[in-house]
Amino acid sequence: MTTWTNSFEGTGPLGYLQSGRAGQSQQPGPGVPAAVAVRGLSKSYGRTKALRDVAVTIRPGEMVALIGASGSGKSTLIRHIAGLEIADPGHGRIEVFGGLVQHDGRFGPKARTIRRDVAVIFQQFNLVGRLSVMTNVMIGHLGRVPGWRGTLGLFTRPERDAARGALARVGIPQVCHQRASTLSGGQQQRAAIARTLVQRSKILIADEPISALDPASARRVMNILAQINREDGISILVSLHQVEYARRYCPRTIAMRDGRIVYDGPSTALTNAFLSDLYGEASEELVLFDDPADAMPSGKTALA
């Protein structure tokens, strides 16, 4: 397989991507910190190099897709940005809105506080099944309420109202008293998004949030993410297994392969031909339909 650099350097719409110039063009203006700035990040698990010298800048208010075959490093990158994991000693720096999350394999002194600004949702929804949906959503308050109150489940009226409002916003106000385990997959993911709304984070990182969902539920979840991005200005990084969703919902895509970023630019440039050059046989994993317009009839989901 030809490498991306050899095939595409300087050609057509892809010419500027993933070159030194591309990195500069994605820097925010002076005085405005990036929502996420990752530099020189490397991570090994034993002999597996999960991340190799990764650099990413996400501007405030962007909605960016992260794509790549299984094992390419998407979840590892997400866990590092979320402050859940530490890079190899001496390898890399991550800042969130100018605050140091980690540097040279050590957490920054304010990493715990910064973590509150980063909400993360996962493929497996991560709700507590035996608790009510309301309680699960109110867990989003916990970064900000005193520990004893959270532990006792004592939430104030405004905190309850915020949870109800968030559930209404993601279109499932009616399930608030149900146990989380009784919800469908799509409803569980929407409840997980409601929890992030309550958290009032500045960044939402979603690790394959739609991989376990049927297409209709997947579209609804992506519509909700896009709406939150648009209306609240929250920066969103969403890893996706299928490129169609990146093309449809995210103006920009970052593509990974073997722990490296191999593409960073407009999602419109991700044609099937380009993807097969980028990923070889692995591209079959990422591409479902020939024409995304056929696969995804447009239509807005009702968000109360």
Ligand X SMILES: Nc1ncnc2c1ncn2[C@@H]1O[C@H](COP(=O)(O)OP(=O)(O)O)[C@@H](O)[C@H]1O
Q: Map the footprint of ligand X across residues 238-297, applying CB under 6 A.
A: none
Q: Does 80 bind ligand X (CB under 6 A)?
A: no
List 68, 140, 209, 292, residue binding ligand X (CB under 6 A): 68
Q: Does 196 bind ligand X (CB under 6 A)?
A: no
List 5, 7, 27, 70, residue binding ligand X (CB under 6 A): 70
**Helix or strand (DSSP H, E) at 216:** helix 215-232
Strands 203-207 and 235-240, sheet pairing:
parallel
37: three-class secondary structure by DSSP: strand
List 74, 80, 91, 169, residue binding ligand X (CB under 6 A): 74
Q: Could you tell me which of 250, 136, 254 has the C-alpha nearest to residue 189?
A: 136
List 75, 187, 201, 267, residue binding Mg ion (CB under 5 A): 75
List 18, 42, 57, 76, residue binding ligand X (CB under 6 A): 76
The distance of closest approach from Cβ of residue 82 to ligand X in the complex, given in angstroms and rounded to an integer, is 13
Q: Does 48 bind ligand X (CB under 6 A)?
A: yes
Burial of 71 (0-12, 13-18, 19+ CB in 10 A): middle
Pick the stretch among 70-78, 141-149, 214-222, 294-302 that binds Mg ion (CB under 5 A). 70-78
Angstrom distance (rounded) from CA 210 to CA 242: 9
User: The tokens 């009702």 sit on which residue?
Assistant: 302
Q: Does 42 bind ligand X (CB under 6 A)?
A: no
Nearer Cβ to Mg ion, position 194 or 205? 205
Neighbours of 90 (CB within 10 A): 11
Strands 99-103 and 63-67, sheet pairing:
unpaired
The distance of closest approach from Cβ of residue 51 to ligand X in the complex, given in angstroms and rounded to an integer, is 8
Angstrom distance (rounded) from CA 250 to CA 260: 20
Q: Does 76 bind Mg ion (CB under 5 A)?
A: no
The distance of closest approach from Cβ of residue 76 to Mg ion in the complex, given in angstroms and rounded to an integer, is 8
Q: Could you tell me which of 260, 246, 203, 275 has the C-alpha nearest to residue 73?
A: 260
Q: Give residues in contact with ligand X (CB under 6 A).
A: 45, 48, 50, 68, 70-76
